[in-house]
Structure 1
Amino acid sequence: MKTFSLLLLVVSPLFIAVNARSNIRDAPSTTVDIQDGQTGVLMVVPPRPTETGTKRIPDADHPFIAPGPNDMRGPCPGMNTLANHGYISRNGITSFEEIIIGAAEAFNIDRDMGVGMASLNLLARGNAFVNKISIGGVSPLVPPLPGQIDGPETRGIAAHGRGEGDASMTRSDIHIGNSRNFNQTLWDEDLEILAKFGADGPDGPATVFNLETLIELKRQNLESDQLLDPEFAIPIRRLNLVFGTTKQATKRIMTSFFMNQTFPENWFRAASPVLGGSIPGEIAAALPQWVPGHNDENGVFVADPPAPAPFNISSGCAAYWDNFANAVPGSLANVTGIFKQNVDMLTGLLFNASGCSEPVAPAGPTNV
């Protein structure tokens, strides 16, 4: 039986849809720029794919190969799966363009959504001068930013705080466990909720992760971690994460992605490009008590201050402000040459997608 489904794995904890406007350059100028011994690589938004229908994934050119001891893997099952099948570099060191193209090919993620995902990744946890990022931790293949303006290492998307955060379905909070690797205990708890709330499907009764199941999963993740993690925090950029499904996502499919980090057998990508959906908003509406916030020194959950005007007009605009105020290092505001061209392009793409009336310059802390 063919199972047409798409699991919207958070290919990064910085997953955001982007509608690129015409004032963002699609073709780079050609310059040579060497800073701190590194040669700059000018980024470019890839063209939209011409083939956007459903097809079986993986194909013969993308077999599963388990990562080697020096390959980078991190907390995102979707990104790990792309690397394990070679839709992005198998060593786990990828680029702006490769993320967009790989996500489009394997998951049929719309080009603009891929642009947003890759832009935030590169700004927050990559080296936007040489156009490299680790999907896991620190790698010698991704040098520190020129002048070490964000510390002596480029830490990759596994580093806690800017994107990677608390209340994951399958990873522990960093302050109480391993935030990078799959946690079987958490997954077993998720499956208990599925058995109680899940819908019936082709694999049997209570095997489909429907909306009710996702609501209860998120409720459990938030409540449990808030009690167990004294430093629990869920800023709006984290609370706004996309984690949902289109059509059917079954226990078999989810287990393949989350546990094995490989495409399931007889799996087909979405029939049309994916640009998000209504599920995150429906989950938020069902859990109104969960607002952006953090535990205080007594372990009591307190709400974060709202985003300042004019960024308080929507949750998306507030998340945009939060990312640039707290996750994108402020040292990127003063770079030069190709570095500046890349940063300007990435920040411009994200502003155009934000729905906000004013842009925010990078202002987050450095070396964190």
Structure 2
Amino acid sequence: MHISSLALSALPLLGSVAAWPGYARSLHGSGPGTVGPILSRAAAPYSTQYPYTGAILDGKPGKGVGGIPVPAPGDTAHYFEAPPPGAQRGPCPGMNTLANHGFISRDGLTTWTELVAGMQNVWNVQYELAVLLAVLGIATDGDPVTEMLSIGDQVTQAIGHEGEFTGNYGGLSKHNSFELDVSLTRDDFYLHGDAHTFNATLFQMMAETAAEIHNGTAIFDFDAVALHRARRYNQSIAENPWIVFPSAEIHNYGAGVFVFEAFPSSARNMTPDLETISSFFGAVPLGNGKYGSQPERIPEGWHNRVSILNSSIIGDGGQDQYNAYPVPFVVGDGTGKLYNLSSTSLVGGCTTYQTAIDTAGSSPNPVATYEFVRRRLDPIYASLGCPNSTSLAMFLGDI
């Protein structure tokens, strides 16, 4: 984001909140930033014996039939394993979970085809949405030539091919790309120079909010997640003088929808209870209201959602969370002064397609990323006529 291109106006500092207790920060497994060789572990193959929703590693849609146990009983290839030596893990609990079960590469260096199949088979994500999310992740933080992505730190040599490197690609842990301030369970980068590590105290804060509004029982539903995000915003305003909360944050609200729409088990009436949600976040109750940390995993006996998780559920759910507690999009100048940034909303159709195209403009190699985005999204958006609205010449004229 180029601040100089945005219209800024002074904004008084919002009311502060009481400082949350000292952060209990713990790195899952080997985690991002690990120094040393990566033990290569590709995604486990799918078989006809355990078809899940029917997606395989070919980039094509599955059948979208959910309500099935994941991992399937007997499918040892997709049972939980702790991250292998040197494995990359990052700020997204969903991606970390997929890697810990081999639905994407256990080393955390995944591919477009792994992502598309994994999101369908585990979360029963709509094919078109899985394609879009995989494209945005790689276009933002991955290698557009190999179509690979580190779900943790930057490991350019590991995800690229000799003689075909087009830039240094940051991985999902790169700050202010996919990973942004005001995370549900990760610190703002300013506080510790680390915005990818799970913060057990922030999970405790979310669990206490969930219990507060549900008569003492922690249920991580829409209301709980929306209120927790609002409180995290106020906390960041109070603690982070360099906060960056641009309009792109609205997409993080969409990611938060996974907590109550993708993580709950259909075998438990899709209830986002503490036992289920803590497993996906890698939070371990310590018995005193506090939490420790362990690698993220799918809970025992878990079944994915019956109906497809589509873009409308994510988009509407994210926008509704923001609308429940609307706050200004701001950037701090380090002195306590905040400046307003332009606002936006979660959108669909050709506007989403164009947003993905525009993402390529900030890539280390815009042309390579532009070609990747079009290669993967044009078939999805062709019926809407979106690909007809752009060309390489037009794209290059805009960056």
Q: Partner letter of residue 291 of structure 1?
A: P
Contact 2:145 2:372 in 1 (8 A): yes
Question: Aligned to 1:46, what secondary structure does the other structure show?
Answer: coil
Question: Structure 2 CA distance, aligned partners of 1:216 and 1:240?
Answer: 17
> Is 2:51 aligned against 1:56?
no
Question: Structure 1 CA distance, aligned partners of 2:95 and 2:170?
Answer: 16
Question: Structure 2 CA distance, aligned partners of 1:362 and 1:165?
Answer: 27
TM-superposed deviation, 1:322: 6.4
- Residue 180 of structure 1 is matched in structure 2 by 196
Question: Structure 2 CA distance, aligned partners of 1:341 and 1:327?
Answer: 9
Q: Partner letter of residue 155 of structure 1?
A: G
Question: Structure 2 CA distance, aligned partners of 1:100 and 1:92?
Answer: 15
- Residue 27 of structure 2 is matched in structure 1 by none
Contact 1:163 1:238 in 2 (8 A): no
Aligned residues: 305
Root mean square deviation of aligned Cα: 3.2
Work out which structure has the larger RCO, using CA pairs closer than 8 Å and 6 or more positions apart in sequence: 1
Question: Aligned to 2:208, what secondary structure does the other structure show?
Answer: helix
Contact 2:146 2:161 in 1 (8 A): no
- Residue 294 of structure 1 is matched in structure 2 by 331
Residue of 323, 329, 350 corresponding to 1:285: 323
Stretches of 4+ aligned residues off by more than 3 angstroms: 144-150, 317-328, 330-335, 346-365
TM-superposed deviation, 1:253: 0.9
TM-superposed deviation, 1:347: 5.8
Q: Deviations over 1:1-29 (max 9, x none)?
A: xxxxxxxxxxxxxxxxxxxxxxxxxxxxx
Question: Aligned to 2:228, what secondary structure does the other structure show?
Answer: helix
Question: Aligned to 1:302, what secondary structure does the other structure show?
Answer: strand
TM-superposed deviation, 1:137: 0.8
Question: Structure 2 CA distance, aligned partners of 1:248 and 1:269?
Answer: 12
Q: Partner letter of residue 303 of structure 1?
A: N
> Is 2:390 aligned against 1:361?
no
- Residue 192 of structure 1 is matched in structure 2 by 208
Contact 2:227 2:325 in 1 (8 A): no
TM-superposed deviation, 1:240: 2.6
Q: What percent of counterpart residues are identical?
A: 23
> Is 2:174 aligned against 1:159?
yes
Contact 1:104 1:114 in 2 (8 A): yes
Q: Partner letter of residue 251 of structure 2?
A: N
TM-score (norm 2): 0.68
Output aligned runs, 1:232-251, within 5 Å. Answer: 232-241=243-252, 242=254, 243-244=256-257, 245-246=260-261, 247-251=270-274
Question: Structure 2 CA distance, aligned partners of 1:331 and 1:350?
Answer: 25
Question: Aligned to 1:230, what secondary structure does the other structure show?
Answer: coil
Question: Aligned to 1:268, what secondary structure does the other structure show?
Answer: coil
Question: Structure 2 CA distance, aligned partners of 1:325 and 1:183?
Answer: 32
TM-score (norm 1): 0.73
Q: Deviations over 1:141-192 (max 9, x none)?
A: 2138967543xx3221111121111111111111112211111111111122
Output aligned runs, 1:25-40, within 5 Å. Answer: none
Q: Which runs of 5+ in 1 are unaligned?
A: 1-43, 200-204, 307-311
Q: Partner letter of residue 174 of structure 2?
A: A
Question: Structure 1 CA distance, aligned partners of 2:276 and 2:362?
Answer: 37
TM-superposed deviation, 1:110: 1.0
Q: Partner letter of residue 247 of structure 2?
A: I
Contact 1:93 1:132 in 2 (8 A): yes
Q: Give the direction of change, closer, same or farther, for the CA distance of 1:52–1:79 in structure 2 (3 Å limit).
A: same
Question: Aligned to 1:316, what secondary structure does the other structure show?
Answer: coil
Question: Structure 2 CA distance, aligned partners of 1:355 and 1:298?
Answer: 47
- Residue 334 of structure 1 is matched in structure 2 by 367
Q: Which runs of 5+ in 2 are unaligned?
A: 1-56, 262-269, 283-294
Question: Aligned to 1:176, what secondary structure does the other structure show?
Answer: helix
Question: Aligned to 1:141, what secondary structure does the other structure show?
Answer: helix
Q: Deviations over 1:230-272 (max 9, x none)?
A: 2211222222321121342111111001124100122110102
